[in-house]
Structure 1
C-alpha cells in the first residue's frame, strides 16, 4: 500500500580512498587480503535463496600467484539453469508488486553495506581474484558499484515521476511495469561493478534475474551475493549460477518467458546471442530486450598542438591501468611527427618506472593478466611483431607465466596504420602507436574513424579550440564515450554514462537513466470521470 510519493534524491559519487602508505585504509585492506588468502573458500551457487553445492568443483587461484589456492566454486549444469529460471519466475509476481520504496531499500542498504562493512573484503576479493591493484579495486568494486546502486535508485525515481498530462475530466497515468518473464545477466571478469550492475539494474525495476558471471569473476561475485542477501533481497529475485555460457544460452534463449539479456563480453558471443534470440523470436511472450556492451579498439589521436606531458601521462594511465584489460583502454595512438619523438622518449621513460608484481605489494602498478588463455593470446601478438617489417617493439615485450600471468607493458610502433595490432582488440597491456605527418592530421581522421569496427571510447589531445571542435564533429560516430585532453578510460556513474555503438554494443549507457528504461514496460492508463452517453460528435448535427 502506498501512502505517499517516494522519491530518492540524486546522490553524490562515493569518494575514492587513496590507500596511502601507513593509512588506516591501507592497513585494513592488507588485513582483508591476508584473511582471504588464509582460507580456502567453498563457493556455492545461489538459487531461490539457497546455497547450492554440486560437488563438481573448480579451483580459483590468483592470476598473479597461481601456486596459491583461494578456494573452489561448485560448477552447475543444465538442471541448475532450469531451477534458476523456475525460482525467478516463482518470485516474479510478488517482487514486481513490491512497493517501490521497499525494493529501493534493498539496494540502498546493499550500497551502505558495501561502503562500510564489506568495503575491504570486496576490494580484497577483487584484487585476489582478478589481479587488480588497490586503487583499481577501490574505484571498481567499491566506488563504482556503490554508485551504480545509489544512482540507479535515483534514476528510477525520476522515471516513476514522469507522467502524462491530464486535461479536465480525465486522469492519465503511466505505470512502469517489470518485463513479463525473466532477465539473463551475463557479466565479464574485468569489472566487479559491472558484475553487480547487470543483474541489479533490472532487478530494482521489478524484474527477476538469472545471473551468470565469468568463471574468473566468481570469487568477487559471490561476495556481492552475500551483500545482497544481507540487504534483504528476497529469494529467487537474483539467482547466481556457475554454468557454461553455451548451456545457459541454450536453455534461456529457448524459454518462452525469456524477457531480456543484459550482457558485457565479446562481440562474437553477443552476436551469437542475438542470432539465437532471433531464431527463437516466435516462442517468446514479448520481444526480448537485448542490451550489450562488447568491447573496443579505443584510440588516442594527438594533434600537432597538443601538450606533450599531458599526452604522456594519459597514455600511461589509459593504456596500462589494470593491465589494459578494460573495454575502454587506449589500444592505438596516433602521434604527429612534430611531437612524436618527444612523446615516445618521455613515455618510455615513464614506463620504466612502473613496477610489476602481485597485488599484495601496493607499490606495484602492473599486475597479472586474467588467465592463461589471455596470456597466450597476447604473447602471440607480441611475438608476431618480431617477424614483421611493418612494426617493432620500442618498449617491453617480455612475458613470464612461471608464477603468474605477467606481461610487461609493451609499446609497438607500427609504420602501417593498418597493422594487425592497430586493428584488433588485444585486451592487455599492449599499446600500438603510429606516427603521421603533422601537416596531414585532418586527412588521417578517416583512418581513425574506420580502422576498427568498434566505437566505444576515444580521446583527442589538442590545444587549438577550433581543432577540438572539428575533431569532435569529424569523429562523431567513432566513440560512444569521447574524451578531450583526457585518457579514454575512467567513466564515472552519473558523470559519463558509458557505452558505445557499432560493434561495441547497443549504447544503452550504463550509469544513466537510459539503461533503466530498457528494463521497464510502460502501461498507459486513461480514466474518464464522466463518460459520454451519446456517440454523436457536433459535426453530425
Structure 2
C-alpha cells in the first residue's frame, strides 16, 4: 500500500511541497496511508482570497443554472470513474467496512446529481398585487463565499451533502476537512476542477481545527459557515461567527431513540436495531444508540438483538464480510471503552461485548449491548460514537415519547410499528428534525436533514438545504408617475 501525500488545493491547483505534514495511519492496521499538509492562518487567508476573487469576479456565479448543472454532472461522472480509488481512501483513513464505504461514494454521486437539478430550478418570485404601478421581485442569489468544516466519520458523503448544493447555487467554497480523513476532500476537489469547476471555486486546506478551522470560522471574507461535528465545537463555531455576524448552519451530535412497539415487524426491527447502532462502526451522529422496546416483547426481542450482535464480524475493513471496522484512533477507542466501563459501574446489564479486541494492531471494539439502562445512566445521556447499544423497556406510548425526548439532542429518531396511527402520533411528538418509521439511517438526496436543541440548526440536502446557500434580494418597482410626498 503506497502512501498518498497531499498539499493544499487552492485556486484550482495543489500547492508545492509543504513545510510540514500530518501523518495518517490506518486505524485498522497502524500502517501509514496518507500525509496531509499542515496548514496555518496564512494558508487559510490564501484560500479565502481565492474563493473571494472567484465569487466576486469569476464566471461561476454568473453562469446559467444549466451551465452549472452540466459541470456538476461531469463531476459526478468523474467520481463514478474513480469509484474504487475513492472507496479505498475512505476505508484506509476511516477504518469503515468496505461495503459501507461503497455506499458512501454511491450516495455522493446521487447528491451531486440532485444538486445539479436544483441549479436548473433556482428561481425567485413576483408580487403583482401590491397596487397600481407596483411590482416586486424576490430574487434568489448565491450567499457568497462559504466555509465548510467537515468531520472524520463520513469524509466524502458529508462533504457532498454540502459542496454540490453550494456550487449549484453559485457559491465558492473553502473546505476544512478533518485532519484524520482529509484525503477524500482533496481528491474530490481535484475531480471537480477536472470537470470544469473554475479556479478558486472549490478550495481545501488541511490541518488542525484549532488553528485553521478557527481562522476560517472567524474570517471576514466568509459569508456563510456550514459545520458538521460535535456540539462542543459547534458552540465554538457560533462564537467565532458572531465576530463578523455571519450566517451559520450546524449539524451536531445526536442520541437517537430507536423505538420498537409490540406490533412491529420484529424481524425487520431486530435488523434495524443492529443497523441503527453498529453501522459505520457506531461512529454516526444519527446512530440509534438508545433502543426502547415495549415490555411485552422485550425479553425475546432483546435476546435476539444480543445474540445477533455477538455474531457480527469485527476486523479488517477491506474484508467483504466485515460488519464493524476500527475506531478512528486509539484515543477515541479509549473514550468508547470509558463509556462501557461507566455502564457496568452504574448498574446496566452487559449482555454481550464490552471489551476491545485483543491481539490486534488496530482500534477494534466488540459490538456491545447493555440492557436495563435507566435515564440516569451516562450511557443513556451522552453520545458514545461507538458500537455500544443501550436498551430501555417501556409500557406506553406516552412513556416512551417522554423517554425519547429526555435528551439535550434532537437530530433523529426511529419508530417501528405496523399501526399508522402510532407512527404518526409518535412522530409528531418526538423533538427531532428527522423521524423514520420502519427503517433506520435511510433517506434520499431530496429529503432535508436538520437538528433541533443541542443537535444544531439549519438544513442539509433537499430543497431546504440548497436554499441555505442562497439569499433573497427584494426589488420593489414603481412604474409610471408617482404621487409626490414632499415635492411642492
TM normalised by structure 1 equals 0.83
- Deviation at residue 534 of structure 1 after TM alignment: 5.5
In the alignment, is residue 435 of structure 1 matched against residue 403 of structure 2?
A: no
Specify whether residues 253 and 186 from structure 1 end up closer, same or farther in structure 2 by C-alpha distance, changes over 3 A only: closer
- Compute the displacement of 1:165 (Å): 4.2
Residue equivalent to 1:284: none
Match of 1:493 among 445, 450, 455: 445
Matched residue, 1:503: 454
For the 8 Å contact 2:141–2:471, the answer to whether it is kept is: yes
Note if 1:522 corresponds to 2:475: no
Aligned residues between the structures = 478
Q: Is the 8 A contact 1:151 1:511 kept in 2?
A: no
2:148 corresponds in structure 1 to 185
Asked if the contact 2:265/2:416 (under 8 Å) is kept, the reply is yes
Residues 281-328 of structure 1 show CA distances to partners (whole Å, capped at 9, x for unaligned) of 4xxxxx422011002000112223333322211111111111111111
The residue that corresponds to 1:101 in the other structure is 66
Number of the residue aligned with 1:34: none
The residue matched to 1:149 in structure 2 has which SS?
helix
Q: Secondary structure at the match of 1:400?
A: coil
Which residue of structure 2 lines up, in the alignment, with residue 456 of structure 1? 411
CA contact 2:343–2:377 (8 Å) conserved in 1: no
Counterpart of 1:176 in structure 2 is 140
* Structure 1 position 277 matched with structure 2 position 241: yes
| Equivalent position to 2:380, from 399, 416, 422 | 422
What is the match of residue 376 of structure 1? Answer: 334
SS at match of 1:300: strand
Contact 2:116/2:164 (<8 A) preserved: no
Cα-to-partner distance string for 1:456-502 (whole Å, 9 max, x where unaligned): 11111223343333322332xx2211112222x122212x3222211
- The root-mean-square deviation of aligned C-alpha atoms, in Å, is 2.1
Q: Which residue of 1 aligns with 2:367?
A: 409
Secondary structure in structure 2 of the residue aligned to 1:459: strand
Residue 373 to residue 85, structure 1, CA distance change in 2 (3 Å): same
Residue 429 of structure 2 aligns with which residue?
474
Kept after mapping to 1: 8 A contact 2:37/2:207: no
Write the distance in 2 (CA, Å) between the matches of 1:251 and 1:102: 33
Distance apart, 1:171 and its partner CA: 6.6
Match of 1:329 in 2: 287
Question: Paired residue for 1:6?
Answer: none
- DSSP-derived class of the 1:338 partner: helix
Q: Secondary structure at the match of 2:415?
A: strand
Q: Is the 8 A contact 1:60 1:219 kept in 2?
A: no
The answer to whether the aligner puts 1:484 opposite 2:440 as a matched pair is: no
Q: Secondary structure at the match of 2:350?
A: strand
| CA distance in structure 2 between the partners assigned to 1:485 and 1:99 by the alignment | 41
- Asked if the contact 1:292–1:506 (Cα under 8 Å) also holds between the matched residues in 2, the reply is yes
Q: 1:71 aligned to 15, 34, 40, which one? A: 34
Give the SS at the match of 1:386: helix
Task: Determine whether 1:132 maps to 2:96.
Answer: yes
Task: Please state how far the C-alpha of 1:525 moved relative to its aligned partner.
Answer: 3.3
Check if 1:118 corresponds to 2:82.
yes
Aligned twin of 1:203: 167
Post-superposition CA distance 1:432-462 (Å, at most 9, x none)? 00123x3x44334212212x11111111122
CA contact (8 A) 2:327 2:363 kept: yes
Distance 1:471 1:534 in 2: 57
Displacement after TM superposition at 1:172 (Å): 5.0
The structure 2 residue matched to 1:156, chosen from 119, 133, 138, is 119
Structure 2 match to 1:345 = 303
Asked whether the 8 Å contact 1:61–1:129 carries over to 2, the reply is yes
**Paired residue for 2:184?**
220
Larger mean CA deviation between 163-172 and 374-383 belongs to: 163-172
Q: Distance in 1 between matches of 2:160 and 2:18?
A: 24
SS of residue paired to 1:350? helix
CA distance in 2, matches of 1:491, 1:498: 9
Name the SS for the 2:161 alignment partner. Answer: helix
Deviating more after overlay: 337-346 vs 100-109: 100-109
Kindly state the Cα deviation for residue 166 of structure 1 after the two structures are TM-superposed: 4.3
Structure 2: tracts of 5 or more residues without a match: none
Secondary structure (helix, strand or coil) at the match of 1:176 reads strand
